[in-house]
Amino acid sequence: MRTRPLGRTGIQVSPYCLDTMMFGRVGNRDHDDCVRIVQRAAGRHPGGAAQAAVRRACRGVRR
């Protein structure tokens, strides 16, 4: 995976990110569309730590 520096912090980060801020009331209100976007993004790096964290965070969340 390619990384780049995060400012002058010395931390290396991926240039790719899925920002969900625009899901819901202030952006895309189509719940099913938002779910498809997240599922498609998660499928690009199956088994990664970030995806595991998202799965844990979503457990038990009501649809």
pLDDT confidence of residue 62: 59
Which residue type, as a one-letter code, is found at position 63? R
In terms of Cβ atoms closer than 10 Å to its own Cβ (0-12, 13-18, 19+), residue 34 is middle
Residue whose token pair is 């290396």: 12
Could you tell me if residue 10 is left (phi over 0), alpha (psi between -120 and 50 degrees) or otherwise beta? left
- Contact 6/13 with Cβ under 8 angstroms? yes
pLDDT attached to residue 51? 66
pLDDT at residue number 16: 72
pTM over 0.85: no
Walk along the chain (63 residues) and give the pLDDT tens digit of each residue.
788 887 888 888 777 776 777 888 888 889 888 888 877 776 655 556 666 776 777 777 655
| Three-state secondary structure call for residue 22 | coil
